[in-house]
Amino acid sequence: MMAAFRLAAGAALLSLFSLPVLAAAPPGADVQSIERGRYLATAGDCIACHSVPGGKPMAGGLALATPLGPIVATNITPSKTHGIGNYTLQQFSDALRRGVRADGAHLYPAMPYTAYAKVTDDDTAALYAYFMHDVAAVDAAPATRTDLPFPFNIRLSMAGWNVLFLDTKPFVADASKSMEWNRGAYLAQGLAHCGTCHTPRNALMAEQLSKALGGADLGTWHAPNISSDSNSGIGSWSQQALAVYLRTGRAAHRGQAAGPMAEVIDHSLKHLSDADLNAIAHYLKSVPAVRDAADTKPVTQWGQAGDDLRAIRGVPLPQNLNTMSGAQLYDAQCASCHQARGEGSFDGSLPPLFHNSATGRSNSNNLVMAMLDGVARQDGGSGQLMPAFRHTLTDEQIVTLGNYVQTMYGNPAIKVTAQQVATLRNGGAPSNLIGLARAGIIVGVLLLLALLVWWRGRRRKAM
Ligand code: HEC
Ligand code: HEC
Ligand code: HEC
């Protein structure tokens, strides 16, 4: 009885990783693999790094900013001269899941192979079929190439880091959990690489798995805690609210996606099936809670509607606009959209600033980043949803306004400081955000250490 159940569950889990057969697909397994590969490439967001805005898909060229210099994503079209057209399935698999190129050289972990290592053999083959047969070959090298200074140009140093931090085991389904959970875990840990941004890193810049999805600074934007904790994470969000957020970047009275998360949604998540987004949401709700002690209540429940209009009525603007009060700045720059009392619009298209994770968190970077860079989406009509105030507001004004918004509408204990605003303002052009977010910081300390490990290994061998 038990064994029969296990068997059935096992078979069900096996079928998890194949999408339903496409009704419209012509006969032939190949076409199906290609279609599945296309979907998986979307889930993996390959295009976000391997294309430049306005450039040919997968032709490479995007420079991911790192403290050591730019790491440029390569041409992964099936071009035989400039792309991966000569890659065998095994070589493709090694690049995707081991971080090793066809010529044997190691990739930098700016390519998220530590997450892709979870991808199953079947899905790797489907991705290969898609890249070989359905991506248009581009016979041209990206305009720039990776050229890191010594010693970071020694790619072999990554071998040492991989020994420490690359877990090469593909995803193993947990038979005690539901099919939905397993599908969600597979996608979130693997292709969709949520942890690349949302998991804090240790001193060697590897993901701290004991704090999985516990939140991390990406240099400019903050990827918040999305563990199941009811105060710090998404514990108080329903599965449905999460799935809606992953498709639209918006969850009423909770949060909206800007910066790198908006890009992830526009390129990748919003194209996934309802079943897959629900599976990811279902899985998130089970990720062990990570709590930030500063979060004494849910980050989505701080603040309330309010204004300080009495303090500014009839008060002339100061001569030095840098000394404008928070209420004056709010009234002049924000109230037209977020409304006089911070309550947003009735239909929710203009969000309230209270009961908003951007003002309730113990990290105010996203409030500052939203002011500096605005909120933009590439979802057809809407485009720029909130203007960038980078050139309208000075650092002093952003500090005053930020602290006003925190006190009036958010967690009043959390401050915006002058140093923070100056750092975030200089954190790189918006086009570098993706790089900083996904790859950036990883390389620094890491490579040095890896080099040390490698060197010690060699010394030991020599002795
Ligand atoms: C976060 C950015 C990022 C994402 C997402 C990403 N890549 Fe990469 N990838 C890179 C970078 C950067 C390199 C080059 C690294 C280097 O030169 O060490 C690279 C290199 C590669 C290579 C090696 C090609 C060669 O010969 O130089 C392959 C193959 C590859 N990626 C495939 C993929 C696939 C397939 C996906 C989606 C499932 C993907 N990548 C998603 C950043 C990314
Ligand atoms: C490239 C980095 C990056 C990746 C990859 C990424 N995120 Fe995010 N995520 C962010 C950032 C940054 C924010 C904050 C957005 C904001 O507040 O404007 C965010 C916000 C969120 C939020 C809202 C949290 C809140 O309290 O408002 C959820 C939920 C979320 N991400 C889920 C996911 C899931 C699930 C995945 C993987 C499928 C994922 N993210 C992948 C960077 C990323
Ligand atoms: C033209 C209208 C408009 C103006 C002016 C405006 N905002 Fe926004 N703001 C929006 C919209 C729309 C969103 C949410 C976008 C979405 O739903 O994805 C938003 C989102 C936000 C967020 C959440 C960002 C995140 O990452 O979660 C904050 C914080 C914010 N605004 C603060 C401000 C402040 C402070 C000002 C004044 C300097 C301001 N806004 C001015 C329209 C505006």
Q: Identify which ligand lies nearest to the alpha carbon of 245.
A: 2
Q: How confident is the model at residue 379 (pLDDT cuts 50, 70, 90)?
A: low
| pLDDT tops 90 at residue 273 | yes
C-beta of 357 in contact with ligand 2 (< 6 A) = yes
| pLDDT tens-digit map of 8-19 | 333 334 334 444
Q: How confident is the model at residue 30 (pLDDT cuts 50, 70, 90)?
A: confident
C-beta of 195 in contact with ligand 2 (< 6 A) = no
Among 13, 7, 32, CA closest to 21: 32
Q: What was the pLDDT predicted at 172?
A: 94
Q: How confident is the model at residue 148 (pLDDT cuts 50, 70, 90)?
A: confident
User: What does the chain come to in residues?
Assistant: 463
Q: Kindly state the average pLDDT of the residues 178-196.
A: 97
Cα(182) to ligand 2 centroid in Å equals 20
Mutate which of 36, 40, 74, 268 to test ligand 1's pocket (most atoms within 8 Å of Cβ)?
74
Q: What was the pLDDT predicted at 384?
A: 83
Q: Kindly state the average pLDDT of the residues 212-219.
A: 91
Among 157, 151, 206, CA closest to 456: 157
Which sign, positive or negative, has the C-alpha torsion 75, 81, 84, 85? Answer: positive
Residue nearest to atom 43 of ligand 3 (CA): 386
C-beta of 198 in contact with ligand 2 (< 6 A) = yes
Q: What was the pLDDT predicted at 9?
A: 39
Residue nearest to atom 42 of ligand 1 (CA): 111
| pLDDT tops 50 at residue 438 | no
Q: Quick one: 151 exposed, middle or buried, by C-beta within 10 A (0-12, 13-18, 19+)?
A: exposed
Long-range CB contacts (< 8 A, 24+ apart) of 83-87? Answer: 83/58, 83/59, 83/137, 83/138, 83/139, 84/131, 85/132, 85/137, 87/128
Cα(30) to ligand 2 centroid in Å equals 34
Q: Identify which ligand lies nearest to the alpha carbon of 48.
A: 1
Which region among 145-159, 390-404, 430-444, 446-460 has the lowest average model confidence (pLDDT)?
430-444
Q: What is the largest CA-CA distance in the chain?
A: 82
List residues near ligand 1 (CB under 6 A): 41, 44-46, 48-50, 64, 71, 73-74, 76, 84, 92, 95-96, 101-102, 107-108, 110-112, 116, 127, 146, 438-439
Q: What was the pLDDT predicted at 235?
A: 96
For residues 304 and 450, the model is more confident at: 304
Which sign, positive or negative, has the C-alpha torsion 205, 123, 8, 285? Answer: positive
Q: What was the pLDDT predicted at 113?
A: 96
- Residue 121's contacts (CB-CB under 8 Å, 6 or more residues apart) are 93, 170
Residues of the chain with pLDDT > 90, as a percent, come to 70
Among 382, 390, 378, 375, CA closest to 255: 375
Q: Which atom from ligand 3 is nearest to the alpha carbon of 221?
A: 26
Q: How confident is the model at residue 152 (pLDDT cuts 50, 70, 90)?
A: confident
| pLDDT tens-digit map of 294-346 | 899 999 999 999 998 888 888 999 999 999 999 999 999 999 999 999 999 98
Q: What was the pLDDT predicted at 447?
A: 65
Q: Kindly state the average pLDDT of the residues 237-257.
A: 95
Cα(434) to ligand 2 centroid in Å equals 12
Token pair for residue 45? 């967001």
Q: Identify which ligand lies nearest to the alpha carbon of 132.
A: 1
C-beta of 368 in contact with ligand 3 (< 6 A) = no
Q: What was the pLDDT predicted at 78?
A: 97
Q: How confident is the model at residue 453 (pLDDT cuts 50, 70, 90)?
A: low
Mean pLDDT of the chain: 87
Q: Kindly state the average pLDDT of the residues 136-147.
A: 93
* Whole-number Å distance between alpha carbons of 266 and 167: 29
C-beta of 366 in contact with ligand 2 (< 6 A) = yes
Q: Kindly state the average pLDDT of the residues 46-62.
A: 94
Residue nearest to atom 26 of ligand 3 (CA): 258
Residue 172 one-letter amino acid: V
Among 214, 212, 279, CA closest to 240: 279
Q: What was the pLDDT predicted at 461?
A: 59
C-beta of 252 in contact with ligand 3 (< 6 A) = no
Q: Identify which ligand lies nearest to the alpha carbon of 185.
A: 2
Residue nearest to atom 15 of ligand 2 (CA): 257
Q: How confident is the model at residue 288 (pLDDT cuts 50, 70, 90)?
A: very high
Question: Within 10 A of 4 (CB to CB), how many other CB atoms are there?
Answer: 8
Q: How confident is the model at residue 156 (pLDDT cuts 50, 70, 90)?
A: confident
| pLDDT tops 70 at residue 60 | yes
